[in-house]
Amino acid sequence: MQKTPFLSKEQAQDIIKDIPTPFHIYDEKGIRENCRRLYKAFSWNKGFKEYFAVKATPNPYLLTILKEEGCGVDCSSLTELVMSEACGFKGSDIMFSSNVTPEEDMKKAYELGAYINLDDINFVPFIERVTGVPETICCRYNPGGTFELAASRTGVQVMDNPGEAKYGMSEDQMADAFTQLKKDGAKHFGIHAFLASNTVSNEYYAELASILFQLAVRLRDRCGVHISFINLSGGIGVDYRPEEPTNDIMIIGDLVRRKYEEILVPEGMDDVAIFTELGRYMMAPYGALIATCLHTKHIYKDYIGLDACAANLMRPAMYGSYHHITVLGKENDPCTFKYDVTGGLCENNDKFAVDRMLPEILPDDLIYIHDTGAHGFSMGYNYNGKLRSAEVLLKEDGSHQLIRRAETMDDYFATFDFSPYRFNTK
């Protein structure tokens, strides 16, 4: 299956007149259409809401687009809470899912009226002491062991290891937490869990929903509490590789509906709202990293050196993750050259691709690295004194807007006190 850029060479060249490479660019039209598909898929649940994981793409321009499409935000830190507040999110528009939480962060979440999701049973006395317990409270569940979903009709087997994850509580801890929080005045309870990452299986969400729906029934009966919402969190993945299956959100939504009607409705729990907390699915395919080929090198292998590096997109260096690459203007050329596509960091793992078959690449060619809209720019860093790139929005009318300028050396040096080192050379 072909991966098609949402940006043409001509559009990229026009943008570069104003904003030099490298930069991350986002497709407003694709983002909005994807939001609408998600809400259509879960329209059967009257309380449904998507809480976009801010950590995936923390940019207020993009958060505002999501807000206009009805989304809330999932925050994990004080900074994300403040950014979301500045964008107009408040109250039940915010889900605060944090771990190892500082007091200042918890106080801000409480002040904003956010749904607070407690990661640990020890957070019960913590929140009692720091803010008091709100009427609606959520707890994060970890079933332990290994989560495994047998190969689905897409031929994909989903496996992950919750027992090795630092997040969440056991079922007994959930019950103890709910019981104590109820004594503290909580009236409405939420359940949250995340069991597997970047799944390309339509069945994953329904399997997770089944686990959480059954847990909700048990906790209601055991603790005598009202379960107000169940947050299925993230985990719906994207097809980074062209040969991978693409998730069908309409099928996913319908499979969750069937589990809801099978498990919750007969228990009289048909008022439970379904929340999602998607980052990758919402943004990854609608972002790209645009870079320019600076150099070619031919020794024991053939190398392409870009003006971008792992400081702009660290997933390949950190995880060995695959990101598809298109040479703009050469989309139809045969891929007869084998390259390692690299950046300029003093690290040998600073590679966007290894042994990748591509068209011939020459200096000044424009490189489009796909699916960087989530966990792309946001994971950037300043190793080797590299500066974070600009972010650009490709608007629905085809125009472009700078939504974050590139860092400068003044930004890099701003946290130092250089006064002892500013010598008068006259």
pLDDT value of position 146:
75
Can you give the C-alpha Rg of the chain in angstroms? 23
Q: Are residues 257 and 139 in the same domain?
A: yes
Per the domain annotation, does 14 fall within a domain? no
Each residue's pLDDT tens digit, 376-423: 999 999 999 999 999 999 999 999 999 999 999 999 999 988 777 665
* 3-class secondary structure per residue, the chain: CCCCCCCCHHHHHHHHCCCCCCEEEEEHHHHHHHHHHHHHHCCCCCCCEEEEEHHHCCCHHHHHHHHHCCCEEEECCHHHHHHHHHCCCCHHHEEEECCCCCHHHHHHHHHHCCEEEECCCCHHHHHHHHCCCCCEEEEEECCCCCEEECCCCCCCCEEECHHHCCCCECHHHHHHHHHHHHHCCCCEEEEECCCCCCECCCCHHHHHHHHHHHHHHHHHHHHCCEEEEEECCCCECCCCCCCCCCCCHHHHHHHHHHHHHHHHHHHCCCCCEEEECCCHHHHHHHEEEEEEEEEEEECCCEEEEECCCCCCCCHHHHHCCCCCEEECCCCCCCCCEEEEEECCCCCCCCEEEEEEEECCCCCCCEEEECCCCCCCHHHCCCHHHCCCCEEEEECCCCCEEEEECCCCHHHHHCCCCCHHHCCCCC
Q: Does residue 151 surpass a pLDDT of 90?
A: no
Backbone angles phi, psi at 25, to 5 degrees: -130, 145
Contacts of 324 by beta carbon, 8 Å cutoff, 6+ apart:
3, 240, 241, 242, 369, 370, 371
Mean pLDDT to the nearest integer, 213-242: 97
Whether residue 274 contacts residue 51, with contact meaning beta carbons closer than 8 Å, is answered with no
- Structurally, the chain folds into a number of domains equal to 2
Q: Are residues 402 and 325 in the same domain?
A: yes
Counting other chains too, the contacts that 77-83 makes at CB distance below 8 Å and 24 or more residues apart are: 77/105, 78/102, 78/104, 78/105, 78/108, 80/54, 80/55, 81/105, 81/108, 81/109, 81/112, 81/114, 82/108, 83/54, 83/58
Give the residue from 245, 261, 283 where a domain finishes: 283
Q: Are residues 105 and 220 in the same domain?
A: yes
Place of tokens 């803010």: 131
Least confident of 109-118, 140-149, 345-354: 140-149
Q: Are residues 69 and 213 in the same domain?
A: yes
What CATH number is associated with residue 231? 3.20.20.10
Per the domain annotation, does 419 fall within a domain? no
The mean pLDDT of the chain is 94
Least confident of 29-33, 156-160, 206-210, 344-348: 156-160
Per the domain annotation, does 42 fall within a domain? yes
Each residue's pLDDT tens digit, 101-120: 999 999 999 999 999 999 99
Helix-helix angle 60-68:78-86, to 10 degrees: 60
What range defines the domain where residue 294 resides? 285-413
What CATH number is associated with residue 394? 2.40.37.10
Per the domain annotation, does 423 fall within a domain? no
pLDDT value of position 390:
98
Per the domain annotation, does 19 fall within a domain? no
Each residue's pLDDT tens digit, 186-196: 999 999 998 88
Per the domain annotation, does 3 fall within a domain? no
Residue 283 binned pLDDT confidence (cut-offs 50, 70, 90): very high
Each residue's pLDDT tens digit, 44-53: 999 999 999 9
Per the domain annotation, does 15 fall within a domain? no
| Cα–Cα distance, 178 to 175 (Å, whole number) | 5
Q: Are residues 241 and 316 in the same domain?
A: no
Give the residue from 215, 249, 283 where a domain finishes: 283
Mean pLDDT to the nearest integer, 77-100: 97
Residue 165 binned pLDDT confidence (cut-offs 50, 70, 90): confident
Q: Are residues 302 and 279 in the same domain?
A: no
Mean pLDDT to the nearest integer, 263-279: 97
Contacts of 322 by beta carbon, 8 Å cutoff, 6+ apart:
240, 241, 316
Q: Are residues 212 and 229 in the same domain?
A: yes
Q: Are residues 399 and 380 in the same domain?
A: yes
Q: Are residues 59 and 158 in the same domain?
A: yes
Q: Are residues 290 and 386 in the same domain?
A: yes
Q: Are residues 255 and 367 in the same domain?
A: no
Per the domain annotation, does 425 fall within a domain? no
Q: Are residues 368 and 395 in the same domain?
A: yes
Total-model pTM: 0.94
Question: Facing residues of 404 across strands?
Answer: 391
Give the residue from 258, 283, 308 where a domain finishes: 283
